């Protein structure tokens, strides 16, 4: 029997924006079930948030913390929002694999009343590019593997997927993270199949890898669609 619940649209990548703005979007999102995966340690992410706010608002550290605390508290205490921190790429890929094998739930004969009026559950991934930096997977091949795992998990869970990568403390370039050029193959690739050596030395933008599955949107446009 086919389900009548709403189906997720094509996965979305938000153009780079401030992390605290993305958190506000997540908090205000009308979805009844939200899962936020942050590709960072908790301490590093909180440090970057404080740095963002102090730089943007030209205020001191303590004032920034006072402004940020309500948003973080609302997300942490929300019954319908789950936050997961993945400290490195191996941890992220392993965690994504576990999402495809959730605990068995009891069978239900019908959809809950009012489900047709609710948006799809939300899976939001923050900093999927940053977590590849300084790894052997910082390549089109590596990003393709990670994005495929993310898409697969979202599809399995039947969640609407949104990804976003923003500038962190140690980023010294103004280049849009999604427009960075990466090599086609992983650094450790030593052997190649027929014609494989033709890819050696070639580069591609990370955006092109993500476009295989996703469409790109500005945060303001995305927020407007949620109203």
List, for residues 10-33, the tens digit of each pLDDT value.
999 999 988 888 998 998 999 999
| pLDDT reading at 48 higher than 90 | no
Give the span between the Cα atoms of 50 and 8, in whole angstroms: 33
Single out the residue of 100, 114, 109 nearest to residue 1, CA to CA.
109
Q: Is the pLDDT of residue 172 over 60?
A: no
pLDDT of residue 1: 43
| 8 Å CB contact between 160 and 115 | no
Q: Is the dihedral of CA 165, 211, 92, 35 positive or negative?
A: positive
The confidence band for 195, taking pLDDT boundaries of 50, 70 and 90, is low
State the average pLDDT over residues 120-148: 97
pLDDT at 75: 78
% of the chain residues with pLDDT over 70: 78
Q: Which residues contact 71 (CB under 8 A, 6 or more apart)?
A: 20, 23, 24, 27
Phi–psi pair at 219, nearest 5 degrees: -60, -40
């Amino acid at each position: 029997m086919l389900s009548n619940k709403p189906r997720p649209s094509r996965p979305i990548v938000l153009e780079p924006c401030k992390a605290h703005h993305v958190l506000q979007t997540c908090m205000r999102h009308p979805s009844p079930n939200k899962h936020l995966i942050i590709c960072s340690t908790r301490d590093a992410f909180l440090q970057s948030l404080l740095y963002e706010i102090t730089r943007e608002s030209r205020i001191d550290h303590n004032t920034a913390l006072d402004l940020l605390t309500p948003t973080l508290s609302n997300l942490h205490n929300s019954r319908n929002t789950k936050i997961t921190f993945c400290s490195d790429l191996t941890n992220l890929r392993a965690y994504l694999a576990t999402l495809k094998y959730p605990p068995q739930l009891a069978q239900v004969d019908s959809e809950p009343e009012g489900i047709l009026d609710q948006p799809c559950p939300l899976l939001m991934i923050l900093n999927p590019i940053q977590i590849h930096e300084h790894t052997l997977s910082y390549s089109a091949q590596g990003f393709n593997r990670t994005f495929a795992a993310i898409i697969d998990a979202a599809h399995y869970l039947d969640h609407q997927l949104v990804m976003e990568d923003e500038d962190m403390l140690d980023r010294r370039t103004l280049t849009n993270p999604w427009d960075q050029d990466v090599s086609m193959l992983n650094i450790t690739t030593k052997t190649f199949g027929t014609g494989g050596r033709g890819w050696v030395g070639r580069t591609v933008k990370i955006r092109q890898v993500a476009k295989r599955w996703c469409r790109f949107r500005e945060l303001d446009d995305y927020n407007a669609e949620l109203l």
